[in-house]
């Protein structure tokens, strides 16, 4: 949650909305899985293996997808060029009281910013942009589906933990925090 402090309001709302949607979908998926987990009499400890295997399956499936599309790549490059032009038009000035260093360095800082925003600098490596666009799309898909897998894992662990506590209470006839070493010794003897 430390990273949340670095986000602007729009980004915070996006993260909050995404977490809620992810949790809702994870609960839905988990509820649909419970019957199968119970019927197959799978041990609680298999949860870790299952999630690892699911991620392996997803990695293999996503790895077989071609994220290269020349038309989309061209549109995205054109879009980035237009964003560069918009960035160059935006004027940023120091506000408030300036110290000597700020006054002394401002002109060169503005010049450097203008130079790196030039299309022949920022977009000089066509291969980099093509690879970045392709990787970005793949990473977006991976991070999205892995986020759901992690949320399902969290829900399964939560349900398993809660149900184990309830089963222990029923088995022991008392809450887990009241089980003593003597109780354990007696049942294991």
pLDDT at 3: 58
pLDDT at 101: 93
3-state helix/strand/coil string of 95-152: CCCCCHHHHHHHHHHHHHHHHHCCHHHHCCCHHHHHHHHHHHHHHHHHHHHHHHHHHH
Q: Which pair of structure tokens corresponds to residue 167? A: 């089963």
Of 81, 59, 72, the closest CA to residue 134 belongs to: 72
pLDDT at 171: 84
pLDDT at 5: 67
- Give the span between the Cα atoms of 156 and 37, in whole angstroms: 10
- Give the span between the Cα atoms of 159 and 131, in whole angstroms: 41
- Give the span between the Cα atoms of 128 and 63, in whole angstroms: 20
Provide the whole-model pTM: 0.66
pLDDT at 116: 93
**How many residues comprise the chain?**
189
pLDDT at 158: 92
> pLDDT tens track of the chain, all 189 residues?
455 567 889 989 988 998 999 999 999 999 999 889 889 988 888 999 999 999 999 999 999 988 888 888 889 889 999 999 999 999 898 888 889 999 999 999 999 999 999 989 988 888 888 888 888 888 889 989 999 999 999 999 999 888 888 888 888 888 878 888 888 788 888
């Amino acid at each position: 949650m430390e990273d949340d402090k670095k986000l602007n309001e729009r980004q915070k709302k996006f993260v909050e909305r995404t977490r809620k949607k992810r949790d809702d979908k994870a609960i839905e998926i988990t509820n649909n899985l419970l019957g199968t987990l119970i019927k197959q009499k799978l041990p609680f400890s298999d949860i870790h293996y299952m999630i690892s295997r699911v991620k392996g399956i997803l990695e293999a499936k996503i790895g077989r997808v071609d994220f290269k599309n020349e038309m989309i790549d061209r549109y995205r490059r054109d879009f980035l060029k237009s964003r560069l032009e918009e960035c160059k038009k935006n004027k940023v000035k120091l506000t408030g009281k300036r110290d000597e260093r700020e006054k002394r360095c401002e002109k060169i800082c503005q010049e450097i910013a203008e130079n790196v925003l030039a299309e022949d600098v920022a977009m000089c490596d066509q291969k980099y942009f093509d690879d970045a666009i392709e990787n970005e799309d793949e990473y977006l898909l991976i991070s999205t589906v892995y986020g759901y897998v992690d949320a399902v894992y969290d829900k399964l662990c939560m349900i398993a933990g809660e149900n184990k506590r309830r089963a222990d209470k029923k088995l022991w006839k008392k809450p887990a925090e009241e089980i003593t070493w003597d109780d354990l010794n007696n049942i294991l003897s």
